[in-house]
Amino acid sequence: MKDVEKQDPGLPSTRTEHENQTLQGVAIKNLEDTREPSLDPRISNGAPTPVLSTELANNGHGHDSEKKAAEIVEFELDDPRNPVNFPYPKKWRITLLSCFATMIAAYNAGAYNMGFASMTRDLNATTFQATIGLSLYALGFGLFPMVTASFSEEVGRLPIYVVSAFGVLLMYVMVALAPNIQTVLVARFLQGGFGSTWATNVGGTIADIWMPHERGLPMSIFAFAALGGTGFGPLIGGWIEINPRLGWKWIEWIEMMICAIYPILVPFMLRETRSSIILTRVAKRIRKETGDNRYRARIEDERASLRTLIYISCTRPIYLLLTEPVITSFSLWIGFAWGVLYCMVESISLVFSSTYDFNIGQTGSIFSTMLVGSVLGMSTNFIQERLYRKYYSTRGPEARLYFACVAAIAFPVGMFIYAWTSFSRIPWIAPAIGIAFFIWATFVIYLAVFTYLADCYGPFASSALAGQSLCRNLAATAFPLFTRQMFDRLSYKWANTLFGCIAVVMMPIPFILFFYGPSIRRRSKFSGMVMDLKKS
Nearest one of 202, 86, 197, 67 to 140, comparing CA atoms: 197
When the pLDDT of each residue in the chain is averaged and rounded to a whole number, the result is 81
> Mean per-residue pLDDT for 378-402?
91
Domain boundaries, the chain: 70-303, 315-535
pLDDT at 56 over 50: no
Q: Residue 306: its pLDDT value, please?
A: 55
Instruction: Give the Cα separation of 41 and 119 in Å (integer).
Output: 49
Instruction: Give Rg (Cα) of the chain.
Output: 25
Instruction: Give the Cα separation of 166 and 94 in Å (integer).
Output: 18
Q: Which of 3-7, 40-44, 454-458 has the lowest mean pLDDT?
A: 3-7
Give the residue with greater pLDDT, 318 vs 154.
318
> Mean per-residue pLDDT for 290-319?
69
pLDDT at 403 over 80: yes
Nearest one of 255, 191, 195, 200 to 222, comparing CA atoms: 200
Taking CB atoms within 8 Å and a gap of at least 24, the contacts of 384-389 are 384/216, 384/444, 385/216, 385/217, 388/213, 388/216, 389/213
CB 192 within 8 A of CB 138: yes
pLDDT at 44 over 60: no
CATH number of the 315-535 domain = 1.20.1250.20
Same fold, 70-303 and 315-535: yes
Overall size of the chain counted in residues: 536
Q: Residue 51: its pLDDT value, please?
A: 40
CATH number of the 70-303 domain = 1.20.1250.20
Q: Residue 533: its pLDDT value, please?
A: 65
> Mean per-residue pLDDT for 128-148?
85
pLDDT at 164 over 60: yes
Give the pLDDT band (50/70/90) at residue 372: very high
Instruction: Give the Cα separation of 148 and 144 in Å (integer).
Output: 6
Distances (CA, A) of 317 to 246, 330, 462, 467: 41, 14, 8, 5
Give the residue with greater pLDDT, 419 vs 15.
419
CB 291 within 8 A of CB 98: no
CB 371 within 8 A of CB 106: no
Give the residue with greater pLDDT, 246 vs 528.
246
Q: Which of 39-48, 275-284, 327-336 has the lowest mean pLDDT?
A: 39-48
Q: Residue 508: its pLDDT value, please?
A: 94
Give the pLDDT band (50/70/90) at residue 355: confident
Give the residue with greater pLDDT, 123 vs 286.
123
pLDDT at 244 over 90: no
Q: Residue 443: its pLDDT value, please?
A: 92
pLDDT at 95 over 90: yes
Q: Residue 342: its pLDDT value, please?
A: 82
